[in-house]
């Protein structure tokens, strides 16, 4: 819902210089703050300490802070909801709001997720994942790139405006959310709570590209069950792990079919292999000399934007059912497909984003000598879909340069974090307008 406000006047060279100088002057403190944030392990269901950290930072800056426990019942009826398994009773969202007395520009949501994916075996990291180390201009740590550096850049972009003597001349909601990596329920919760704006920017690590499109994703668990016997008579038994492999192969076949179809897609037709199937986690069996009676496989499958999720789910169920029908054991005991986690549609940025993208281009050009922003089509997904698909808030990502996100030795380039902070500060100034602070 675009406001009736015209875009504010372009920034003067003096104002631009004052803002970027303020970013430089605050960057040592920003780097220290980021290291302390990365040091807090904020894996799924353990985000409380990181949310406390962010809420305290917002309060210290004088924002109106809304810190609440998410009630799943409020979210279940909403579009984009994904079922969750695990203890969600302490899940919180934190929003810090700036509301000026006089509004002259467009309102803005700045959103960052603080949930991180598990680091995996510690011995595969050069440095411990939650003990951030800076080397050769990179900060290492789980979540440093995805996406704590971006979130902190947004916070310090607002700080830089203040240090330069300004406040945004429109409402800004700074949203710290959880669950981006599993369901997106944190993003859904802030929308359910009623937060709206003329645009939303999510500083995910895109290396300064803007995501024009992103795929959807479905998460599901394959539950394979078999009859346990001793390994000496394995031929009579039904090995649930081996049967699970056969189901994975069938789903790889569906992945091939879907990607062949994607060649005709208006948005993703020119992207090679946009839809990825991933068997991401497998668990099964109890004993090396017992034929395994059970196997659970957690899977992820990509879906093109505009494709009906219900239809995609039926195709996946149909693929598993057909493979089980021809299977010596599973024909008697077909596996269950349990939908759990992401039930996410794809999202393509529409023309309603053009005004915000134009301001972002100006901000980016100011920092990068007039360079032109590149657009990408992602084969992954972000929280932007909730804002854009269901609440008419154009939402896009732009963020720092990071490597090995979701892998070992995740790291973010600190020079890119500094540049991003400048880009975001100038974007906020250009989009929201500025009010001079006078004592
Ligand atoms: Zn992320």
CA of 178 to the centre of ligand 1 (A): 10
CA of 348 to the centre of ligand 1 (A): 18
Q: What is the pLDDT of residues 176-230, one digit of tens each?
A: 999 999 999 999 999 999 999 999 999 999 999 999 999 999 999 999 998 766 6
Q: Is residue 392 among the annotated active site residues?
A: no
Question: What confidence score (pLDDT) does residue 10 get?
Answer: 83
* Higher pLDDT, residue 111 or 329: 111
18: tokens are: 């004052």
Q: What pLDDT band is residue 408 in, cutting at 50, 70 and 90?
A: very high
Q: What is the pLDDT of residues 33-71, one digit of tens each?
A: 999 999 999 999 999 999 999 999 999 999 999 999 999
Question: What confidence score (pLDDT) does residue 150 get?
Answer: 98
Q: What pLDDT band is residue 128 in, cutting at 50, 70 and 90?
A: very high
Q: What is the pLDDT of residues 347-356, one digit of tens each?
A: 999 999 999 9
Q: Does residue 319 carry a pLDDT above 50?
A: yes
Supply the mean pLDDT for the chain.
94
CA of 397 to the centre of ligand 1 (A): 10
- Cross-strand partners of 300: 219, 278
DSSP H/E element including 156: helix 149-163
Question: What confidence score (pLDDT) does residue 1 get?
Answer: 43
What is the reported pTM? 0.93
Cβ atoms of 409 and 365 within 8 Å: the answer is: no
CA of 265 to the centre of ligand 1 (A): 26
Question: What confidence score (pLDDT) does residue 439 get?
Answer: 56
> Mean pLDDT, to the nearest integer, of 94-101?
97
Catalytic residue among 180, 198, 296, 410: 180
Largest CA distance in the chain: 85
CA of 148 to the centre of ligand 1 (A): 9
Where b means 16+ CB within 10 Å and e means fewer, 199-223 reads: bbbbbbbbebebbbbbbbbbbbbbe
Residue listed under structure tokens 């590149």:
374
Q: How many CB atoms lie within 10 A of CB 91?
A: 25
> Mean pLDDT, to the nearest integer, of 374-386?
94
Catalytic residue among 47, 66, 115, 383: 115
**Which 3 state secondary structure label does DSSP give 216?**
strand
Give the environment of ion ligand 1: residues with CB less than 5 A: 146-147, 204
CA of 57 to the centre of ligand 1 (A): 21
With a pLDDT cut of 90, the percent of the chain lying above it is 89
CA of 205 to the centre of ligand 1 (A): 7
Question: What confidence score (pLDDT) does residue 236 get?
Answer: 59
With a pLDDT cut of 70, the percent of the chain lying above it is 97
**Which 3 state secondary structure label does DSSP give 111?**
strand
CA of 185 to the centre of ligand 1 (A): 14
Cα separation, 138 vs 148, in Å, equals 14
Q: Is residue 115 among the annotated active site residues?
A: yes
All domains of the chain, ordered by start, with CATH? 13-214+346-436 (3.40.630.10), 216-341 (3.30.70.360)
């Amino acid at each position: 819902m675009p406001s009736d406000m015209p875009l504010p006047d372009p920034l003067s060279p003096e104002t631009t210089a004052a803002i970027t100088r303020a970013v430089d002057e605050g960057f040592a403190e920003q780097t220290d703050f980021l290291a302390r944030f990365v040091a807090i392990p904020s894996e799924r269901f353990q985000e409380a300490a990181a949310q406390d950290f962010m809420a305290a930072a917002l309060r210290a800056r004088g924002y109106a802070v809304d810190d609440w426990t998410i009630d799943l019942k409020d979210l279940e009826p909403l579009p984009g909801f994904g079922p969750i398994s695990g203890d969600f009773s302490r899940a919180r969202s934190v929003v810090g709001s700036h509301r000026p007395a006089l509004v002259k520009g467009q309102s803005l949501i700045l959103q960052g997720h603080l949930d991180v994916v598990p680091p995996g075996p510690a011995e595969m990291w050069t440095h411990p994942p939650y003990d951030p180390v800076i080397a050769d201009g990179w900060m290492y740590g789980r979540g440093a790139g995805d996406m704590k550096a971006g979130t902190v850049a947004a916070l310090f972009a607002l700080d830089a405006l203040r240090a330069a003597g300004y406040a945004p001349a429109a409402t800004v909601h700074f949203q710290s959310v959880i669950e981006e990596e599993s369901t997106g329920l944190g993003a859904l919760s802030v929308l359910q709570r009623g937060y709206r704006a003329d645009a939303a920017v999510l500083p995910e690590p895109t290396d300064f590209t803007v995501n024009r499109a992103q795929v959807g994703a479905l998460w599901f668990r394959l539950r394979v069950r078999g009859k346990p016997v001793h390994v000496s008579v394995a031929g009579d038994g039904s090995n649930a792990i081996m049967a699970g492999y056969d189901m994975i192969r069938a789903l790889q076949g569906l992945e091939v079919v879907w990607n062949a179809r994607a060649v005709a897609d208006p948005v993703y037709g020119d992207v090679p292999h946009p839809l990825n199937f991933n068997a991401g986690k497998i668990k099964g069996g109890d004993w090396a000399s017992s034929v395994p009676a059970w196997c659970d496989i957690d899977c992820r499958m990509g879906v093109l934007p505009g494709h009906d999720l219900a239809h995609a789910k039926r195709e996946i169920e149909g693929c598993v059912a057909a493979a089980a029908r021809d299977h010596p054991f599973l024909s008697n005991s077909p596996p269950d497909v349990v939908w759990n986690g992401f039930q996410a549609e794809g999202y393509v940025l529409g023309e309603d984003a053009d005004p915000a993208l134009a301001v972002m281009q100006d901000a980016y050009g100011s920092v990068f000598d007039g360079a032109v922003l590149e657009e990408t089509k992602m084969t992954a997904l972000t929280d932007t879909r909730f804002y854009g698909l269901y609440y008419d808030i154009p939402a896009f990502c732009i963020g720092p340069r990071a490597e090995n996100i979701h892998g070992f030795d995740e790291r973010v380039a600190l020079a890119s974090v500094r540049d991003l902070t400048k880009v975001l500060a100038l974007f906020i100034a250009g989009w929201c307008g500025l009010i001079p602070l006078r004592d």
